[in-house]
């Protein structure tokens, strides 16, 4: 199938998939949970003694935004393919002249739309809170803009990882695997440090191997650079962006391959 035809097929599946997942109660539950976290951040900022209210809302709100994107990506993505198989609606889709890889990319397209929608709503609420509750001290910085953008990219990556796991395992196991890999992926530096301290041992080699092959989510966390408005090198931003896009394509491609081996 030619490329324009592939785009049309993937777009059609993505459209239907988006309309399905946007009705899912998970999105609304996550949004409510996110706004509750924002409310807690506001309360904490008013009770803060050591740190300024602006800094509390800045850090707490960014964490809430990240948690919201991760939750949508993991919980919706983990059931995206499984639900189609269980309902046998995948047979209807595959009865048309489309490949399983195209089907995977189409389903992910619907999830991508949902993640972008959630990101826009949560980000809008986040910046609104920063403006209203920072006592007029809020100043936008490019570092904050990149941090928010990386939160969105991280959510897209986690969604692709959830789709990958859902191509060969159950929904619950996919959720567990995603959370486990995320926890490991946010501590790659510590794993490398422990590997250096245990150099030459079996434990050190194992940690070094894991640090090399696991997705490194530290590329998307600007951390204290946001708090103190420290500029981020362009090379770091470019590498993090490319790293995320390449991993997304890799996981989706692998999901298509694994779905091809699955008896449906």
Q: Which has the closest alpha carbon to 206: 186, 189, 191?
A: 191
Contacts of 122 (CB under 8 A, 6+ apart): 31, 34, 64, 65, 68, 69
Q: What's the mean pLDDT in 258-264?
A: 75
For residues 56-66, give the mean pLDDT. Answer: 83
CA torsion, ordered 250, 160, 227, 229, to nearest 10 deg: 50
pLDDT level of residue 2 (50, 70, 90 thresholds): low
- 41 pLDDT above the threshold of 50: yes
Residue 73, classed as helix, strand or coil, is helix
Q: Which string of DSSP letters, residue by residue, matches 126-152?
A: HHHHHHHSSTT-----HHHHHHHHHHH
pLDDT greater than 70 at residue 156 = yes
Kindly indicate the confidence band of residue 191, based on its pLDDT and cuts at 50, 70 and 90: very high
As a whole number of angstroms, the distance between CA 5 and CA 26 comes to 33
In 53-141, alpha helices (H): 53-77, 80-87, 89-94, 100-132
- Name the percent of the chain lying above pLDDT 70: 86
pTM of the model: 0.89
Report the Cα 110 to chain-centroid distance in Å. 14
Of the listed ranges 110-114, 117-121, 225-229, the least confidently predicted one is: 225-229
Grouping H, G, I as helix, E, B as strand and the rest as coil, residue 79 is coil
- Residue 47 has what pLDDT? 61
Which of 25-29, 153-157, 189-193 has the lowest average pLDDT? 25-29
Report the mean per-residue pLDDT for the chain: 85
218, 214, 223: which is closest to 247 by C-alpha?
Answer: 214
Work out the angle between the directed axes of helices 100-132 and 80-87 (0-180°, nearest 10): 130
Mean pLDDT of 224-250: 92
Q: Is 184 helix (H, G, I), strand (E, B) or coil?
A: helix
Interior angle at CA 112, CA 37 and CA 181, nearest 5 = 65
Give me the pLDDT at residue 58, please: 82
| Residue 83 CB neighbours (<10 A) | 18
Higher pLDDT, 187 or 54: 187
Q: What is the pLDDT of residue 251?
A: 96
Q: How many angstroms separate the CA atoms of 90 and 104, rounded?
A: 11
CA 90 and chain centroid, separation: 25
The CA–CA distances, whole Å, from 120 to 31, 126, 133, 138, 210 equal 11, 10, 20, 20, 34
Residues near 8 by Cβ (< 8 Å), separated by ≥ 6? none
Averaged pLDDT for residues 71-88: 86
73 compared with 95, residue with greater pLDDT = 73
Least confident of 3-17, 70-84, 161-175: 3-17
Least confident of 41-45, 64-68, 110-114: 41-45
51 pLDDT more than 60: no
Q: Do 100 and 6 touch, CB atoms closer than 8 A? A: no
């Amino acid at each position: 199938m030619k490329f324009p035809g592939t785009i049309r097929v993937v777009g059609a599946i993505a459209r239907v998939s988006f309309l399905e997942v946007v009705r899912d109660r998970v999105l609304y539950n996550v949004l409510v949970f996110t706004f509750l976290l924002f409310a807690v951040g506001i309360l904490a900022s008013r009770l803060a003694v050591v740190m300024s209210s602006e800094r509390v809302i800045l850090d707490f709100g960014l964490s809430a935004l990240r948690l919201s994107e991760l939750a949508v990506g993991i919980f919706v993505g983990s059931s995206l393919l499984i639900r189609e198989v269980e309902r046998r609606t995948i047979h209807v889709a595959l009865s048309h002249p489309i490949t399983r890889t195209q089907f995977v990319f189409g389903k992910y397209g619907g999830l991508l739309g949902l993640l972008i929608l959630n990101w826009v709503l949560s980000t809008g609420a986040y910046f609104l809170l920063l403006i209203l509750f920072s006592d007029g001290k809020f100043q936008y910085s490019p570092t904050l803009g990149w941090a928010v953008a990386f939160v969105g990219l991280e959510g897209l990556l986690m969604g692709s990882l959830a789709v990958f796991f859902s191509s060969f395992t159950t929904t619950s196991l996919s959720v567990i695997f995603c959370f486990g890999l995320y926890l490991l992926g946010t501590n790659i530096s510590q794993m490398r440090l422990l590997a250096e301290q245990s150099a030459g041992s079996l434990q050190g080699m194992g940690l070094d191997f894991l640090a090399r092959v696991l997705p490194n989510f530290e590329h998307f966390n600007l951390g204290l650079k946001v708090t103190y408005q420290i500029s981020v090198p362009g090379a770091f931003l470019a590498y993090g962006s490319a790293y995320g896009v390449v991993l997304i394509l890799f996981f989706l491609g692998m999901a298509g391959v694994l779905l091809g081996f699955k008896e449906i």
